[in-house]
Amino acid sequence: MAALDAFADRLLRHEPLAKYTAARLGGPADLLYRARESLEELAAVVRAAWTDGVPVRVLGGGANVLVSDDGVPGLVVINHVSHIDIGEDCSVTAASGTSLTILARRCAAAGLTGFEWAISVPGTVGGAVVNNAGAHGGDMAASVRQVLVLEPDSDQPRTMSPADLAYGYRTSSLKARIDRRFLVLSARLQFERGDPEAIASRMEANIAHRKRTQPQGASLGSIFKNPPGDFAGRLIEAAGLKGYQIGGAQVSPVHANFFINRRSATAADYFQLIEHVRAVVLRETGVELELEIETLGQWS
């Protein structure tokens, strides 16, 4: 380690990741850094890890990742760098650590329509750009115009267009990359001017829908993607698995595609529950469910 020495006083060692993930699960990162101040700081620490040959993973809200009990080797950077610029032309540029809910509220306050779906979706712009997050009929793909991405082989960030991002249902060219050697710095989104009362009422309806249909408690939201023409939650329920529990991890009795950490769960419980549900649904319905979440670290 040499370049990372510059950050030594703010690097946490063997830091448990459970408190940085929405499921409240996961063993330690060898090294953890919380970037708060600026995109320059975020870029510098990631670049330092690349220079030193240390594996690095950037997380926003940890709302779409299941981290192994054995933790994650190398450096994990928690991205809290938040910044929003709203242009006269209804474009919005947001730093990758900006919370989706805060961004949705800022857009609404500025009278912009197109981001109401993101209210109450946990996580950050960075994670949403990677995953093509979406809800209530909207998604990132509909409004992303360009994304600034840093990669190890260039000093300058690369500008990715929607075509480069190759968005699909909860996926992108970034999510598909196995090397993971990229850092999303910011995204420019395009919205339209709308009626502030209508925007507010759509957001309230979205919040109410979530409260009515989704469980409380630590989870990762939808575990599996919906297969074409069907719903993963319906298939899991039809397979008789609503409420099914392994260790401290339970298929939610409220929404079967949400798995709840009932406080005492380990990531291994959660992972076994995923495997069990996938196998039973395949046996009972013939449908092979595909993960929407990502797994991080080593899994035996």
Ligand X SMILES: Cc1cc2nc3c(=O)[nH]c(=O)nc-3n(C[C@H](O)[C@H](O)[C@H](O)COP(=O)(O)OP(=O)(O)OC[C@H]3O[C@@H](n4cnc5c(N)ncnc54)[C@H](O)[C@@H]3O)c2cc1C
Give whole-number Cα distances, 90 to 110, 113, 170, 192, in Å. 9, 9, 25, 6
Residues that bind ligand X (CB under 6 A): 22, 57-65, 79, 96, 121-124, 126-128, 130-131, 133-135, 182-184, 219-221, 294
- Among the listed residues 281, 288, 292, the one whose alpha carbon sits nearest the alpha carbon of residue 223: 292
- Shortest gap between Cβ of 21 and ligand X (angstroms)? 7
Catalytic residue status for 170: yes
Length reported for the chain: 300
Shortest distance, CB of residue 152 to ligand X, whole angstroms? 13
Query: Which amino acid, 142?
Result: A
Report in angstroms how near the CB of residue 88 gets to ligand X at its nearest: 27
Catalytic one among 57, 170, 202, 278? 170
- Told to judge if 41 belongs to the known catalytic residues of this protein, a careful annotator would answer no
Angle 129-134-140 (CA atoms, 0-180°, nearest 5)?
40
CA distances from 193 to 115, 147, 188, 265 (A): 11, 22, 16, 45
The pair of three-digit structure tokens given for residue 251, joined into one six-digit string: 């298929």
Report d(CA 84, CA 93) in Å as an integer: 6
* Distance of closest approach, residue 284 Cβ to ligand X, in angstroms: 26
Contact status, residue 297 vs residue 261, Cβ threshold 8 Å: no
**Minimum distance of ligand X from residue 95's CB (angstroms):** 9
Beta bridge partners of 224: 291
Comparison of 65 and 107: residue with beta carbon closer to ligand X:
65
Q: How many CB atoms lie within 10 A of CB 187?
A: 26
From 81, 59, 77, 69, select the one nearest 130 (Cα to Cα). Answer: 59
Q: Cβ closer to ligand X: 221 or 297?
A: 221
Between residues 261 and 266, which has the closer beta carbon with respect to ligand X? 261
292 catalytic residue (yes or no)? yes
Nearer Cβ to ligand X, position 162 or 196?
A: 162
Q: Which of 175, 278 has the CB closer to ligand X? A: 175
Q: Which of 172, 186, 222, 252 is catalytic?
A: 222
Please identify which of the residues 15, 116, 237, 292 carries the catalytic annotation. 292
Q: So which residues are the catalytic ones?
A: 170, 222, 292
